[in-house]
Each structure stands twice: as structure tokens, then as C-alpha cells.
Amino acid sequence: MRKWLGLLIILLFALRGYGQIAPLIPVHDPVMIKQDSLYYIFCTGRGITVWSSKDRQTWKREKPVFAQTPDWAAKAIPKARPNDFWAPDISYYNGKYHLFYAVSVFGKNTSVIGLATNKTLHADSPDFKWEDQGEIIRSIPGQDHFNAIDPNLILDEKNVPWLSFGSFWDGIKLVKLSADLKSPAQPKPWLTIANRAGLSHSSNDTTAGRGAIEGPFIFKHAQYYYLFVSWDYCCRGPKSNYKMMIGRSTRITGPYLDRDGTDMAKGGGTLVLAGDKDWYGVGHNAVCTFDGVDYLVFHAYDAADNGRSKLRIEPLMWDKDGWPVVQTAK
């Protein structure tokens, strides 16, 4: 009886689209949003890669956001690969879709975060047009001890916008934004909300140091703000050892504490999901809610395909103490 009950539960998850049973499309740093009946994935790639789906199972490659790097970004980061955009973040805010993105040079903090807006995500709409809003944040080697990549927008309980971002160096930063999202609302120094304490960091533009932390995403659940980050290394195929870590706070500004009460700004972090024999590493996640169900959206390095990066979407549950549990499909 228990065996049949288990099979029934698995079948119900499959019919509802839970778990990673979809074709494994190639992505890095995915974020997902829904407009009307269509789901959209935005991710790292030339021009910002875009996918659409009606069911989160079958995905269609859409036209990228940009045909080329905006002039201001090309001038700011002249050594970046042409039309190469990193880790976009999509939100619907004040009647428009707001897409934050980064342009950078790998392993350096020569980086900028920009913003593009659109009235709709449907490419067949007459209102469809991405409009670049320019630079939001820049990091300069030798001047800044942070890296302006991996942006994520979150609104607090008063609908004030905040942007988390960063990698390596001094870790993950948090800054309050202006109401139009086009600039920081307060001067530096900005809050450091997560860090790999005890690991060396470099402020020059030749090395990121050993403090491997990046990909922040803040998600509000019940009374807590949850800060997801990725530790260790992406983008190394079979040698990728990416993993997702978390802490939480009752205030958006932190401190974000792990299960043991350690501040993430002092090296704390509780494991959410790590690689295994099927996936070398997992990370750079977003959290989305559709029809009352929370989902963890991330990329993982496929052991069955020489460590190539693939999309995974898994239901995200919450235990009795309010900590996230990933409901992975086997």
C-alpha cells in the first residue's frame, strides 16, 4: 500500500509540473517571471538570453533583449566581451517590467549594473520595446572593494526598493534605491550583508581572491527575509562545486543569521542545496511563486553531459521552523 501511495504522489507531482522533468535547456543564472499565461526565463548570455514557456516544460528561445552592448556600458567596461550580459533580474514594478543586468570582466571587479524597462514581455505586442535606462552602480578596481554584478531587486514592507548585488571581495552588498530604481538613494558605504569571512580578498582588478560568494537573492516568506547566496565555484564544468546557502532576518537590512545564529556577514550560512553524483554543482538561484507554490529556479552542472549548465526548477517547501527545503525529483 505504501509503495502505491508513493507512486501516486510522484505521479501527482509530475502532472502538476513539479520537479525537474522538463527538457534541460542550457542556462546560466536564470530568473523567471510570468505574464498572463506565459512563463519567461532571463539568463546570462549574448544580449541577455530569453526563453518562454506555457507550461514550464517546453521552452522556446526568444529574441535577446539587446542587439549589442549599450554605448555607455561598452565605454565603461571596454574589455568586456561584446554583447555579453550577466545575471539579469526581472521584476514588475510601477506598471513596467524592470530588468537589471551586469556587464563585467571575468574575475575582476571592473563591472557595471544597468537597467532596462519594457511595458510587456510579449514580443508580439505593439507595446514591446526594451528601453535601456543606463548605469545604476559601478565598481572600479583599486577604488571599490565590491563587485557590481548579480543584481536582485526586493521591496521592503513599506514598498521601498532595495538592490542586493556583489561577489567575492567584500561579499554581498545591499543599497536602497530611488523610487524610479535608476540610482542609489544613499551614498556609499553600503551595507555588507554576506561575506566569506576569513578568506582573503583582493581589491585590485587581477584577482577576485578566495572569498567565493555571489548570486544574492532575497525572498520574503512569513515574517522573514531570506537571503540566498551561492558559495564556491561556478563555470568549471565537472570541477564546478557551486552550492546554495541561506540566512534570514526580520529586517531587510539584516543581520541575516543562519540556523546556528551566525551572521552571514561574518561567514555564516546554512546549506540549501549542493551538488551530487548527478549534478556537479548547483547555484545562482531565484525564488518564484506561482499559484501559491514557491519554486527554486537555478542552474546546475549536468554530470551526464560533461558538466554542461542546465535549467532546474524545483518546488520549495518550508519546514516547521520556517527554513526552506528543496523538493527535488529523483
CA 120 to chain centre: 21
pLDDT of residue 24: 83
Whether the pLDDT of residue 13 is over 90: the answer is no
φ, ψ for residue 5, nearest 5 deg: -65, -40
Q: Give CA–CA dist 37/54, Å, rounded.
A: 6
Do 314 and 329 form a contact (C-beta atoms < 8 A)? yes
How high is the mean pLDDT of the chain?
91
pLDDT tens column, 227-266: 999 999 999 999 999 999 999 999 999 999 999 999 999 9
What lies within 8 Å, CB to CB, of 99 at 6+ separation is: 42, 48, 65, 88, 89, 90, 115, 116, 117, 118, 130
Give me the mean pLDDT over the 312-318 stretch.
97
For residue 231, the one-letter residue type is: W
CATH number of 22-326: 2.115.10.20
Q: Identify the three-state secondary structure at position 154.
A: strand
Q: Could you report the per-residue pLDDT of 203-235, keeping only the tens digit for each?
A: 454 566 778 999 999 999 999 999 999 999 999
- Out of 11-20, 36-45, 72-81, 112-121, pick the least confident: 11-20
At residue 133, the pLDDT reads: 98
Q: DSSP assignment of 67-130, as one string?
A: SS--HHHHHHSTTSPTTEEEEEEEEEETTEEEEEEEEE-TTS--EEEEEEEES-S-TTSTT---
User: b/e for 123-155, b at 16 or more Cβ within 10 A?
Assistant: eeeeeeebebbebbbbbebeebbbbbbbbbbbe
DSSP 266: G
Active site residues: 29, 214
pTM of the model: 0.91
Identify the pLDDT of residue 200.
52
Q: pLDDT value at position 210?
A: 77
Altogether, the residues listed in the chain come to a count of 330
Residue 209 phi, psi (nearest 5):
75, -170
